[in-house]
Amino acid sequence: MSTLIKNGRIVTAVDDYNADIFIEDEKITQIGKNLEMGADKVIDASNRLVIPGGIDPHTHFDMPFGGTMSADDFESGPRAAAFGGTTCVIDFAIQTKGESTLKGLDTWHEKADGKALIDYAFHMIITDMPDSRLGEMRKLADEGITSYKLFMAYPGVLYVDDGTLYRAFRQAGDNGTRICMHAENGIVIDEIIKEAVADGHTEPKWHGLTRPTRMEAEGVYRSIAIAEVAKVPLYIVHLSCSDALEEVKRARMRGIDVIAETCPQYLFLDKSYYEKEGFEGAKWVMTPALREKWNQDELWQGLKFRDLETIATDHCPFCFKEQKELGLESFTKIPNGAPGVENRMSLIYNGGVVQGRMDLNRFVEVTSTAAAKAFGLFPKKGTIAVGTDADIVIFDPERKETISVNNPCTHHMRVDYSAYEGFEVQGFTETVLSRGRVIIENNEQKIEKGGQFVKRALTGSRLD
């Protein structure tokens, strides 16, 4: 199968030029002006951007959490991601406490196998790591699981103590792999929650009020200190606020290998969403919580000056009816998480490029290339070049849409609300190729499945 994409404006993290792209089977084999070769399929990309498929390094499909399961599985989640211009996700497999991480990996392979429309990889969530199990981390790396998430939050659920952090960090560093950190002091936060509950507070807004930004900053500081001593590269996930960003900046100025991710929810939404009528605020109960609005400017600055490396979604959807409603009696019972995997590219293009906060190259970098580099997918994915996977998005920079659960163009996620309801965006995904297969064409799904598990390299890897 061959495909020729004609007349597009190709934008990568470093290039911006007009040319044609020739794809044979899964790979890009030629890029040039006025390519004339015959192809099984020709796509005219005039007046469109031709960009590397988005990479979302933080999703939770089919995840047990908060007494229920995240609403998108490996069929609906990747499909929604594809409609939004994302062609690869890195989801989180989970180790059941006391059991093998390799068993956890098998479970996630079973959940995903044969279902996904786009390619996917896994990080491993480590919930305990006695000395006797440390060798598993090497085996995980051999299986292409070259990053691990550990939690300072959620005591009694996913939380691990500092000793476990140190052991896992040391091993990850020795193996040439990376640690992803949910950095928030969950022990202190639980005490604050107890006080709020004792005072009779039940409404969703108390989720935000019991999670001070200082407790996120403390987690960032502590995890960086442990990573520095353990000599492991660190990736702070879902960084939400200026206090936490300051700790990242300070460490980077000292030459520490720490990079950080933020998410659209922290760039576009703020704590006023918790003040909505009745139980409505539960839609935005996520961790870290939404912050005061002024933090958003600091995060955009962080992206501009490269103290923030990537924009992921932390897509972890729960339906408002029946799932979020588990917390009707108390904010402590609301499942934490929100949807967004479908909306990331348009939100960031609109808020970043259209509104003048970043240029086109940086847009590609923060939505694709940087994640590929951080997580051992580059240069197979994350750019457009001869020899790379033909994961390509043809993006209409002018098209406007209003994001809504009721807009069939913006909502394929299996969840009964949109976190960005009513947001108007300019810039929209039109056609998507995944390893050369046209999976979405003019906003219509063309293929049901075919996404593959991607084994990730330890660091950046060369093409074969």
Binding site for ligand URP (CB under 6 A): 60, 182, 286-287, 314, 316, 336-337
Which is closer to Zn ion, CB of 5 or CB of 94? 94
Q: Which residues, in sequence order, are CB contacts of 98 under 8 Å at separation 6+?
A: 128
Q: How far apart are CA 166 and CA 46, in angstroms?
A: 53
Q: How far is the CB of 273 from Zn ion (least distance, A)?
A: 19
Site for Zn ion in 166-185 (CB under 5 A): 182
User: Quick one: which of 248, 252, 273, 279 has its CA closest to 262?
Assistant: 248
Residue 336's binding partner, choosing from Zn ion, ligand URP, none, with beta-carbon cut-off 5 to 8 A by kind? ligand URP
Phi, psi (deg, nearest 5) at residue 400: -110, 140
Q: Report the residue number, 149 or 167, with the smaller CB distance to ligand URP.
A: 149
- Residue 140 or 282: the one with the smaller Cβ distance to ligand URP is 282
Binding to Zn ion (CB under 5 A) within 330-389 occurs at none
Q: Is 351 helix (H, G, I), strand (E, B) or coil?
A: helix
Number of residues that bind Zn ion (CB under 5 A): 2
Report, in Å, the least distance between residue 150 CB and Zn ion. 10
> With the CA atoms of 142, 147, 148 and 151 taken in that order, what torsion angle do they form, in degrees rounded to the nearest 10?
180
Question: Measuring CA to CA, which residue among 240, 237, 285, 329 is closest to residue 419?
Answer: 285
Residue among 228, 232, 356 nearest 303 (CA): 356
Q: How far is the CB of 390 from ligand URP (least distance, A)?
A: 31
Least distance in angstroms from the C-beta of 314 to ligand URP: 5
Q: Which is nearer to ligand URP, 287 or 410 (CB)?
A: 287
User: Which C-beta is closer to ligand URP: that of 296 or that of 452?
Assistant: 296
Residue 136 interacting with Zn ion (CB under 5 A): no
Residue 110 Cβ vs ligand URP, minimum distance, rounded to whole Å: 21
Cα(19)–Cα(11) distance, rounded to whole angstroms?
Answer: 10
- The residues in 278-317 that bind Zn ion, with binding defined as CB under 5 A, are 314
Please provide residue 207's backbone torsions phi and psi, each rounded to the nearest 5 degrees.
Answer: -60, -45
The nearer residue to ligand URP, 259 or 438, going by C-beta atoms, is 259
Contact partner, 286, from ligand URP, Zn ion, none, Cβ < 5-8 Å per class: ligand URP
Q: Which DSSP state fits 193?
A: H
Tell me the pairing of strands 16-24 and 424-434: unpaired
Q: How far is the CB of 342 from ligand URP (least distance, A)?
A: 17
Decide whether 49 or 71 has the Cβ nearer to ligand URP: 71
Closest residue to Zn ion in the complex (CB)? 182
Q: Give CA angle at 269 (264, 271), nearest 5°.
A: 135
Is the alpha carbon torsion for 68, 111, 96, 86 positive or negative?
A: negative
DSSP state of 344: H
Q: Does 401 bind Zn ion (CB under 5 A)?
A: no
91 scored as a contact of Zn ion (CB under 5 A): no
Pick one of Zn ion, ligand URP, none as the site partner of residue 165 (Cβ within 5 to 8 A by kind). none
Q: Rounded to the nearest whole angstrom, what is the least distance from the CB of residue 280 to Zn ion in the complex?
A: 22
The nearer residue to Zn ion, 9 or 182, going by C-beta atoms, is 182
Question: Closest distance between ligand URP and the C-beta of residue 154, in Å?
Answer: 7
Least distance between Zn ion and beta carbon 211 (Å): 12
DSSP per-residue letters across 236-260: E-S--SHHHHHHHHHHHHTT--EEE
- How many residues comprise the chain? 464
- Please name the helix (run of DSSP H) or strand (run of DSSP E) that holds residue 9, with its range, or none: strand 2-11
Contact partner at residue 337 from ligand URP, Zn ion, none, CB < 5 to 8 Å by partner kind: ligand URP
Q: For ligand URP, which is the closer residue by CB, 282 or 286?
A: 286
**Given the complex with ligand URP, which of 61 and 363 has the nearer CB atom?**
61
Q: Does 75 bind Zn ion (CB under 5 A)?
A: no
Phi, psi dihedral angles at 294 (to 5 degrees):
-60, -25
- SS3 of 78, please? helix
- List the beta bridge partners of residue 395: 49, 429
Q: Report, in Å, the least distance between residue 263 CB and ligand URP.
A: 9
- Answer whether 310's CB lies under 8 Å from 371's CB: yes
263 contact, one of ligand URP, Zn ion, none, CB 5-8 Å limit per kind: none
Give which of ligand URP, Zn ion, none residue 91 binds (C-beta under 5 to 8 Å, depending on kind). none
Nearest to 339 by CA among 411, 271, 418: 418
Q: What angle do CA 110, 310, 116 make, to 5 degrees?
A: 25
Binding site for Zn ion (CB under 5 A): 182, 314
